[in-house]
Structure formats: C-alpha cells, structure tokens
Amino acid sequence: MALSTLTARVDEKDKAAFDDFCSSVGLTSSAAINMYVKVVIRDRKIPFEIKQEDPFYSVNNQAHLMKSIQQLKDGRGTAHELIEEGDE
C-alpha cells in the first residue's frame, strides 16, 4: 500500500496536547489521525456532532426574522435610529 502525506496546520499548543494525549493512550499522532480517517471512510460521516451554537440561527429566530422581513416588504415597518446596547 502506497502512503501519502496529509498536512494540516494546528496551533503549537494544540499539537503538543494532542501528541501528549495520543502518547498517554499508546498511540502516535499519525496512528490517531489514521484511525480518524478510517472511521470517516467507513461510516461516511464525521464521527462526532458538529453543530451551530449561535442562537441567531435558531428556528424560532429565523422565523421571526422572515416574518419581520415580510412585514417590511409589505410596507408595515417603522424606521428609527439605531439603538446601541446600553443606550436604552
């Protein structure tokens, strides 16, 4: 089997912490990354949840924004000055 190199840029401290962890469980960093690659290929997905925590993108907020945009398009909006946080 021919080998290929995979290069990724990682913060120095993160790399050191990753190397330390891998060593503590009896793996090299290369072996751990190879395990990750094999799991992704086998399962056809990232093996952990990736989610957006920003509440701006919540279903309720997006619905509220769409309703507000429609109200503006229908001419049912009021223009006002920008209210800065703390100026209330």
How many domains are there within the chain? 1
Q: Tokens 């120095």 identify what position? A: 12
- Res 57 pLDDT > 70: yes
* Residue 62, in any domain of the structure: no
- Res 6 pLDDT > 70: yes
Q: Which domain holds residue 35?
A: 12-43
Tell me how far apart the 2 most distant CA atoms of the chain are, in Å. 67
Q: What is the mean pLDDT of residues 76-85?
A: 83
* Residue 22, in any domain of the structure: yes
* Residue 65, in any domain of the structure: no
Mean pLDDT over each residue of the chain, to the nearest integer: 90
* Residue 24, in any domain of the structure: yes
* Residue 82, in any domain of the structure: no
* Residue 19, in any domain of the structure: yes
Nearest to 3 by CA among 47, 26, 34: 34
Is 0.85 surpassed by the pTM of this model? Answer: no
* Residue 35, in any domain of the structure: yes
Q: Which tops the pLDDT comparison, 85 or 33?
A: 33
Q: What is the pLDDT of residue 52?
A: 67
Sign of CA dihedral 53, 56, 57, 61: positive
